[in-house]
């Protein structure tokens, strides 16, 4: 187990170094931040002053070495645009994204798993057809369009829910969150549903397939023969066996949702990191882009690790083979 951990750690460090080089040179190659930061009537002297203070005059390798030296001391540079530590700018917006993603994930599981089970048990019935067709819509309609439709229906036409921003936040256990106020929850609902739609469709399909594959297996027949009730078979025995693929996919998807909830955050003006990264790429704010990507890579590494750990909890066979 220790050897496994150490190998994982070494891999993670290599991935981080390679990523930083690629992103650093990539952003450098795209364009010149000065072109975007400076006002149209900036003079040569001002241009020089800015280039000097942001350290853009040095050749690329020198800039990179400086970055690595600082990064090893935990300093990922200051944002060109905001002149604040890049990690601070990112972490400040992370809670907003996390609560949005978490809510979306909960919605997709709460709706997706029961519907998937239902469709799987009644495969071929009208119910199954309806659920499956619905899930196709969840997949195939563009996220952007779904978001606009939600706004048009629930904000513009019905006027039930607000369409922009995070609303009033409160603090629970020292964390600022929308969960703490009614207004915050109302603001959270539409973007969370928007983010959850495709996710729900995915969960439905995974669950349905799992149920269909598991139901004909021998152990289910034996369970029936022993007289175990149908609900217990479905919710305990079948569920246990189909959760592994769901956990894997959801784990990875959670990472993607956190990192790339860009569309939803932009449409609903949600002050999270997805919106930040798009703005930063447009402004070529390199410290933010590099730190962001490194944070996301780290997050994926951690999530993958957690998923592996969950496997062994869910499946005794994996637990045994690991020991």
Q: What is the binding site for other proteins (CB under 8 A)?
A: 30-33, 35-47, 49-50, 53-54, 78, 80-84, 89, 92-93, 148, 151-152, 155-156, 159, 162-168, 170, 172-173, 179-183, 185, 266-269, 271-272, 275-276, 279, 281-284
CB nearer other proteins, residue 93 or residue 205: 93
Minimum CB distance to other proteins, residue 173 (Å)? 8
Q: What are phi and psi of 85, to 5 degrees?
A: -55, 130
Minimum CB distance to other proteins, residue 38 (Å)? 5
Q: What are phi and psi of 171, to 5 degrees?
A: -115, 135
Q: Round to whole Å and give the CA distance between 252 and 310.
A: 13
Cα Rg of the chain (Å, integer): 24
Minimum CB distance to other proteins, residue 104 (Å)? 17
Cα dist from 316 to 54, 90, 128, 225, whole Å: 55, 39, 32, 24
Minimum CB distance to other proteins, residue 239 (Å)? 18
Minimum CB distance to other proteins, residue 313 (Å)? 16
Partnered with residue 171 across adjacent β-strands are: 176
Report whether 214 contacts 242 (CB < 8 A).
yes
Sequence-ordered list of residues with C-beta below 8 angstroms from that of 107, at least 6 positions apart, any chain: 192, 193, 196, 199, 200
CB nearer other proteins, residue 288 or residue 297: 288
CB nearer other proteins, residue 82 or residue 213: 82
Cα dist from 96 to 154, 198, 274, whole Å: 22, 20, 10
CB nearer other proteins, residue 64 or residue 179: 179
CB nearer other proteins, residue 100 or residue 238: 100
């Amino acid at each position: 187990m220790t050897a496994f951990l150490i190998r994982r750690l070494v891999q993670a460090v290599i991935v981080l170094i390679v990523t930083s080089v690629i992103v650093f040179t990539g952003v450098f190659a795209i364009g010149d931040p000065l072109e975007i930061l400076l006002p149209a009537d900036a003079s040569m002297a001002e241009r020089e002053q800015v280039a000097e203070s942001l350290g853009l005059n040095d050749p690329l390798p020198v800039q990179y070495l400086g970055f690595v030296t600082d990064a090893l001391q935990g300093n990922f540079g200051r944002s060109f645009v905001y002149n604040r530590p890049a990690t601070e700018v990112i972490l400040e917006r992370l809670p907003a994204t996390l609560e949005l993603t978490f809510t979306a994930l909960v919605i997709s599981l709460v709706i997706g798993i029961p519907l998937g089970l239902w469709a799987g048990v009644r495969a071929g019935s009208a119910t199954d057809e309806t659920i499956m067709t619905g899930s196709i819509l969840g997949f195939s309609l563009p996220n952007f369009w779904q978001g606009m439709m939600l706004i048009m229906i629930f904000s513009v036409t019905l006027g039930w829910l607000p369409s922009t921003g995070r609303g009033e936040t409160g603090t629970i256990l020292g964390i600022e969150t929308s969960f703490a106020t009614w207004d915050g929850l109302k603001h959270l609902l539409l973007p969370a549903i928007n983010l959850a739609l495709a996710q729900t469709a995915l969960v439905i399909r995974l669950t349905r397939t799992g149920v269909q594959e598991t139901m004909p297996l021998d152990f289910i027949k034996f369970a029936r023969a022993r007289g175990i009730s149908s609900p217990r078979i479905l919710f305990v025995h079948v569920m246990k066996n189909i959760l592994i693929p769901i956990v894997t996919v959801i784990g990875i998807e959670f990472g993607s949702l956190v990192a790339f909830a860009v569309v939803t955050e932009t449409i609903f003006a949600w002050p999270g990191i997805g919106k930040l990264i798009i703005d930063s790429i447009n402004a070529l704010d390199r410290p933010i882009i590099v730190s962001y990507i490194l944070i996301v890579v780290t997050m994926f590494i951690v999530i993958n690790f957690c998923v592996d750990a969950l496997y062994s909890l869910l499946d005794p066979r994996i637990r045994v083979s690991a020991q």
